[in-house]
Amino acid sequence: MVASFGSGASGTRPAQFVRVEIYAIKGVATTTKSGSRQQGKASIHQILDEATRSTPDGHKHLIAQGLKPKPPVCLWGLTTEELWPWFQEHKVRASENRVPYSYRGRDHSKAQPVTWPTLLGEVASYPGAPDDTDVGYVDWKRLCLARLHEVYGERLVTVMEHLDEGHGHLHALVANPDASPVKALHPGHGPSDACLALGGTYKDAQQAYIAGLQRFQELFSDLVGRPAGLERTAPDPRRRYSYAEAQVRKQMAEEIAVIDANLAGRAWSLAQEREAFEADFMRRVAEVELREENAMAMAFRETSAKVEAKFARRQKEQDAQAALLETERAALVRDRAVLDAGLSALTEKVRAISAEAKERVAAALAQVDRVMELVERRVDQATLELIRRDLAVDTAKQRGSNLSPVRPR
């Protein structure tokens, strides 16, 4: 079933909204381009606070908007009471994980860092109030749940429905059963890291990150957005602001609306004789606003040009560094190939010399055996000749004794 929405003045349907982020046990601060420190990524504890609305920190953004926090509705998985014990077990499992690494040719392992993301969170928002009498909203929730099960399977921990804001929205939390990192599950970080692992440049990794998130949005549109009657993108996408900036702009808009209402009330209360004065006044105000807008637009264009030029210079420097690294890497590969070839040739030469030496030793041993055999033969002949001489001497003596005359007594 496809939900129907009023087209309004623009004649277009509202666009889908879905966001995916990854979080670690310990939040990580970030550094902006100007060098200032920001809060950066929230921790898993902070995300659970927001999803469960269980502590003041989890709903302080509602208080700032004048909204009253309401308990979330668990559509699937762990309830708000079960999430906190699960988180404690999750931290224990993460602390038991070991990360292998090599140092000086030896394999080692270390504890899994607490700054590695082990939780993935998705937020999907509906362009309307969280009203179960709205057939479109009910169908949208059903499509979201079916997609989450199809994409994450047994890794899906819980799906919470929030009812305390203007637009109905769902929070989905995803984790590996063994509390291992979930960066590979992220549609942007996963392809980006895979690109770097295959030897791609950081520019290639950035493009893989963007392409992955685009596929993520397209898949959400195929499984949820279009069946629910939502556009893939808005015809005129709004500029993205941080939460603090959005709140300031919202407060300013409300104050401007109040001021405009007061001005309109006063204008209606003025007498007919002041119509000409009011028309002239409004004309001058319009001219001033137009000049200010033109000045702001010009300043914005100048600032944008400077930022783009600076970005282009940095990009050129990064590309040059990447090219230099690639050249050095190619040189190392060539040196490695030359070294391997030389080592192979030296190995073959050593093997040939060893074989030749073995043959020479075998020949020398054979010659020694022949010499020893000759020596043994000569020794045996000399010994036999001596024996013969001794026998001949003894025989001659014996004969001489028998022939000698008998002496008188």
pLDDT of residue 10: 41
Contacts 24+ apart (CB under 8 A), 253-257: none
pLDDT of residue 239: 64
pLDDT tens digits, residue range 63-96?
777 788 899 999 999 999 999 999 999 999 999 9
Exposure string for 231-244, b = 16+ CB within 10 A, e = fewer = beeeeeeeeeeeee
pLDDT of residue 8: 36
pLDDT of residue 33: 45
pLDDT tens digits, residue range 197-236?
999 999 999 999 999 999 999 999 999 999 999 998 877 6
The beta strands (E) that lie in 188-271 are given as none
Per-residue pLDDT of the chain (409 residues; tens, 9 = 90+): 334 343 333 446 889 999 999 999 998 765 544 454 445 678 999 999 989 988 887 778 777 777 888 999 999 999 999 999 999 999 999 999 999 988 888 888 999 999 999 999 999 999 999 999 999 999 999 999 999 999 999 999 999 999 988 899 999 999 999 999 999 999 999 999 999 999 999 999 999 999 999 999 999 999 999 999 999 887 766 666 666 777 787 788 778 878 877 787 776 777 777 788 888 888 888 888 888 888 888 888 888 888 888 888 888 888 888 888 888 888 888 888 888 888 888 888 888 888 888 888 888 888 888 888 887 777 777 777 887 788 788 777 777 765 555 555 4
Element spanning 109, H or E:
strand 106-111
> pTM of the prediction?
0.56
Which two three-digit tokens encode residue 161?
């429905």
- The count of C-alpha atoms lying within 13 angstroms of the C-alpha of 388, restricted to the half-sphere facing its C-beta, is 6
Exposure string for 277-301, b = 16+ CB within 10 A, e = fewer = eeeeeeeeeeeeeeeeeeeeeeeee
Angstrom distances, CA of residue 134 to CA of 3, 129, 138, 223, 234:
9, 9, 6, 20, 22
Instruction: Work out whether the CA dihedral 390, 393, 395, 401 comes out positive or negative.
Output: negative
pLDDT of residue 210: 95
In the chain, what percentage of residues exceed pLDDT 90? 40
Which has the closest alpha carbon to 72: 166, 165, 175, 151? 165
Cα torsion through 384, 389, 394, 397, rounded to 10: 170
Q: What φ, ψ does residue 267 adopt, rounded to 5°?
A: -60, -40
Which two three-digit tokens encode residue 3?
């939900």
Which CATH number is 17-236's, of 1.20.120, 3.30.930, 1.10.10, 3.40.50? 3.30.930
pLDDT of residue 340: 84
Which has the closest alpha carbon to 51: 155, 182, 171, 208? 171
Other CB atoms within 10 A of residue 58 CB: 19
pLDDT of residue 289: 86
In angstroms, rounded to a whole number, what is the distance separating the alpha carbons of residues 148 and 167?
Answer: 20
Which has the closest alpha carbon to 225: 160, 135, 136, 159? 136
